Amino acid sequence: MDKRWRMPILDGTLFSGKAAWGVERLIAKKVIVLLLVIWFLTSGLAVAEPSSSKTTYDEIYEKYHRAAESFSSESIPFTPEEREYLKEMRNKQVKVPLAPGFMGGFYEFDEKGKNYGVNQLFYSFLEETLGLKLSYVAVSGPEDVFHKIANGSLDVAPIIYRHPAEYSGILLSEPISYNMNYIFYSNEKKITYDSLGYALEGKKIGTVNLLSEDSQPLNQFNDITYFPYRSISDAYEAFMAKKIDFIYANVENYRSFIDHGLLALPVPNPKNDETYRVCVSSSNPLLQSILNKAIASIIGQTVSEYDKEIRKAYLYHHFYMTEQERELLRSIGVLRVMVDDNFTPLSFYDENKNHYAGASVDLFESIATMIGLRYTLVHDENISWSEKVAKVKSKEIDVLFPISMTPTRQKFGLFSQPYYSTYYTVIAKAENGKKLKYAQELLHKKVGIVKGTSITDFIETIIPKEQITYFDSDSHMYRGLKNGRVDYIIQNENVFLEDFYENELFDLTSVYRLRESPKYYCYFLKQSDKMEQVIPIINRAMNYFDSSEMVAAYQVGESELRNRYIEQKRNRNLIAFVLLIAVVVLSLLVYGFIRTKKFSKKLEKEVAINEMAYLQSQIKPHFLYNALSAIMAFCYTDSEKAGDLLNSLSKYLRIVFNTDNRGELVTIQREIELVKSYVDIEQARYGERLQIFFDIDQACLQQRIMPLLIQPLVENAIRHGVMKKAQGGTVRLSVKQIGESITVIVSDDGVGMSEQKIKEILSRKETVSGVGLANIKQRLGHYPGKQLTIESKEDRGTIITLPLPLKE
């Protein structure tokens, strides 16, 4: 759809012609949105409408259930014989067991009468993907399942396969999912696969209903001592009494230990892996083959992903807190939180959406939601990072992030445990970009850093303070390096990579990574007794989330940054080319006007002067400069908005150039279009400081008036009225038919003016910026009995009334 057609901003009024296109565009948008909603709800990725009874489990299950609906058995490489057998199976009831807990441990659990187990999802695949009709049969235990499979009372049964023993009369499928055994540990620590070996080395591990005394399930680790326990409660009591360091148990014990406030990590073990499989009768090898292919093609990966999401959801909803801790969080009220505006991937302020984003923000919001922490994000783009740090010191702010721990900061603030680490890098001009071998080479060099950054303490141990220049912002620091004020600057390597392309720092290069001083990023809280008690709760909650996944969601590679820059550059060049053409056309028009002026007669000269004033009011250098500046600014952040503004400027110029001012009358509709094009550009410049309201009588739109009787009034109200107030204001344009006249009223709540000022304005034929009110008053003299009136009060605003005759 052509973006030039815009819905008119009129109360109950629709234009004909181009306005009709605006209506069509609005309808088309609604149709497109409706189609997108339908697609989303049928794509297998949408979740159900939220309601008071919905839970995270509902949303996860529905998401993967719809995935089952979206798959087709036609995509699975069945043989002709298998497809024929599948058709036979579809004509009868396939008997499967109900899904009690022993069939899948944690996989099978009810929430308000609903089952969210992997078995239930597996059954969905049998029904939706393979097209089978299921009949549910009650079973009493695993042995009963095997017995019923062998004698034909069951056709298919999912089961946890624990031991390599062979079952008579039973065929097992390929594994659907692995990692059925878990290490359980205190939620005060965080263990990952990378740190698992170090964490388990030489530790005492309790096992539950899983192993004999001489079993070695974790034989890849050394010096582990095992303590078998018969029940969950025995193992938990031993763990709390510090008789053992970890508990090793299968998936059936998952919920019990999580409910006790422990964390869990799946532990792969080639010699003792429990697997989730499907069993069928040994007399039915075709069904086993069909299930194996479905598992390999579709079911296995989907079920494994579902398992991970369900586990995360269960952890999230079962964070353990004492009542004293909950009361503490309630008592501290709403926390005032500040965030770094420019630290991708951890945090950044999204100007388009007016909110913060990034891994550090997501993690904090997740923690706050889980533990019931209330907060408000305080955004102030006018203060530096060092000033934000100082606000924590003065206790004006409760929390600041992302920030790394330093000895200096620890003297006046409290830190959570780290959730991300990175390095700083030494940057030089590319022409002097010799690689450094060690940080001490910076000695006797002029070095720049931003005030308040965490690298300050380390740099000051290498370089005397008199050799360091402390800058207020990143941009000032980059400028200082370019103009030779410093030889090197120090910047976080993630931030520099973003800045390199965003700010076109192509004459700068990184010459050394400061491996001597890695930075560990934390949440920084003001010093107080209550905050000191809150930090352990935040630390425990942090362990329930995978911060590396959150960081990965925001990290971009250099190639992506480069491609983004190239696209922005292309858009800027295109817009610059279009604007260049507009300037050339404007220059030719002005040149032609000047030549015509030389050959005009006296009367024609007077008309030409008025015409020049008219052109000046529409294409003033300051207005064109400001319009182009606004458009170029949006090129970096919102190319669609830039295109809309360029369209408005083009429309504005087209209306101006197509108007013959030597007597031609124009419709009020065309005059309003000119006003709207002008307003679009001014609103882009001033944002929320400028509010415009239109109240146009449709019956007036085809009335004809002299050109440029209305637009200068709106421009004066904006420039000399509301924009002279720091907070801006509101301009209202009303066009009504009253009796045998059309009344145009332009009002504003701006600075207003005195009676003396009104007289001075009306006494001047032209202003320095174009057509003045006196000019409009003079032209209004062609209409007998019509007189421009101005009512104004200082600091209250101005109302200008313009009466016009009816003239179709």
Report, at the CATH architecture level, how domain 424-517 is classified: 3-Layer(aba) Sandwich (3.40)
% of the chain surpassing 70 pLDDT:
79
Question: End-to-end CA distance of the chain, in Å?
Answer: 33
Amino acid at 134: L
Please state, in angstroms and rounded to a whole number, the distance separating the CA atoms of residues 455 and 403: 11
Domain spans of the chain?
A: 1-42, 56-177+277-313, 181-273, 323-419+522-556, 424-517, 561-805
Q: What are phi and psi of 701, to 5 degrees?
A: -65, -35
pLDDT-wise least confident of 28-42, 197-211, 279-293 = 28-42
pLDDT at 660: 54
Same fold for the pair 56-177+277-313 and 181-273: yes
Are 337 and 367 contacting, i.e. CB atoms less than 8 angstroms apart? no
Which superfamily does 561-805 belong to? Histidine kinase-like ATPase, C-terminal domain (3.30.565.10)
Q: Is the pLDDT of residue 180 over 70?
A: yes
pLDDT at 23: 40
pLDDT at 506: 86
Which candidate, 74, 73, 67, places its Cα nearest to that of 42?
Answer: 67
pLDDT at 222: 67
Average pLDDT, rounded, for the chain: 81
Please state, in angstroms and rounded to a whole number, the distance separating the CA atoms of residues 391 and 237: 45
Structure tokens belonging to residue 413: 């603030």
Q: What pTM value is reported for the model?
A: 0.55
- Band (pLDDT 50/70/90 cuts) for residue 29 is very low
| 323-419+522-556 topology per CATH | D-Maltodextrin-Binding Protein; domain 2 (3.40.190)
Crossing angle (nearest 10°) for helices 639-657 and 621-637: 160
- Band (pLDDT 50/70/90 cuts) for residue 303 is confident
Which superfamily does 56-177+277-313 belong to? Periplasmic binding protein-like II (3.40.190.10)
Q: Is the pLDDT of residue 366 over 80?
A: yes
Please state, in angstroms and rounded to a whole number, the distance separating the CA atoms of residues 704 and 723: 31
Give 493-512 pLDDT, tens digit per residue: 888 888 887 788 889 999 99
Q: What are phi and psi of 769, to 5 degrees?
A: -105, 5
554-593 burial, b if ≥16 CB within 10 A, otherwise e? Answer: beeeeeebeeeeeebeebbeebeeebeebeeebeeeeeee
Neighbouring C-beta atoms of residue 84, cutoff 10 Å: 11
Across the range 354-367, mean pLDDT stands at: 93
* CATH number, domain 181-273, options 3.50.50.60, 3.20.20.70, 3.40.190.10, 3.30.70.580: 3.40.190.10
Please state, in angstroms and rounded to a whole number, the distance separating the CA atoms of residues 201 and 775: 90
pLDDT at 609: 53
Give 230-254 pLDDT, tens digit per residue: 888 999 999 999 999 999 888 778 8
Query: Sign of the C-alpha dihedral, residues 73, 77, 83, 85?
Result: negative
Please state, in angstroms and rounded to a whole number, the distance separating the CA atoms of residues 88 and 133: 11
Alpha-carbon Rg of the chain, whole angstroms? 36
